[in-house]
Amino acid sequence: MNAPLSFAVGGDHAGFDYKNDLIAFLEAQGISVKDCGTYSADSVDYPDFAHPVADAVEKGEVSFGLLLCGSANGVAITANKHQGIRAGLAWNTEVAALVRQHNDANVLCLPVRFISLEEAKACLQVFLETPFEGGRHQGRVNKISCC
């Protein structure tokens, strides 16, 4: 039996406007969510929210992570400092599918200044529905870790 899906969600002030809508989107599908902040649109430092999301995924407290910021580059860079994390930046559904299929991404990073809320939901849905292909990609994924 598969464990129920769960997500840790976090982001900086740029991602704040999308965060609650995306949490509601996940919860409407029966997915439990750990909200790692931020809790307002006041300016904050994205690593303060990316690290808790990455920690929750890395420790197995949640199945996946979702990070939101303006370009999504900062949160992706931060999350990928964690050994057990494969954070993928997606700006459309095709890329969201590929980060799961080919990279076995366990954290989805969305650039909220460059995509609509509807596109963000579509990317998240594709991320949820797309399995890792394994096969030739497994060997590549195995080479990602530095240790």
pLDDT value of position 133:
75
Q: Which two tokens stand for residue 113?
A: 């200044």
For this structure, is 146 an active site residue?
no
More confident residue, 66 or 1: 66
Q: What is the pLDDT of residues 75-128, one digit of tens each?
A: 999 999 999 999 999 999 999 999 999 999 999 999 999 999 999 999 999 999
Of the listed 36, 69, 109, 123, which one is catalytic? Answer: 69
Of the listed 13, 51, 82, 102, which one is catalytic? Answer: 102
What's the rounded Cα separation, in Å, for the pair 53 and 11? 9
pLDDT value of position 146:
77
Residue 13 is classified by DSSP as G
pLDDT value of position 122:
98
For this structure, is 102 an active site residue?
yes
Q: What is the pLDDT of residues 21-52, one digit of tens each?
A: 999 999 999 999 999 999 999 999 999 999 99
CB-based contact 84:64 (threshold 8 Å): no
User: What is the arrangement of strands in the sheet containing 6-11, beginning at the earlier edge strand?
Assistant: 32-35, 6-11, 64-69, 107-111, 87-89
Mean pLDDT within 3-14 = 94
pLDDT value of position 139:
78
Neighbours of 136 (CB within 10 A): 8
Q: Please, which contacts does 82-85 make with residues 24 or more away whose CB atoms are closer than 8 Å?
A: 82/51, 82/54, 82/55, 82/57, 82/58, 83/58, 83/145, 83/146, 83/147, 84/57, 84/58, 85/54, 85/57, 85/58
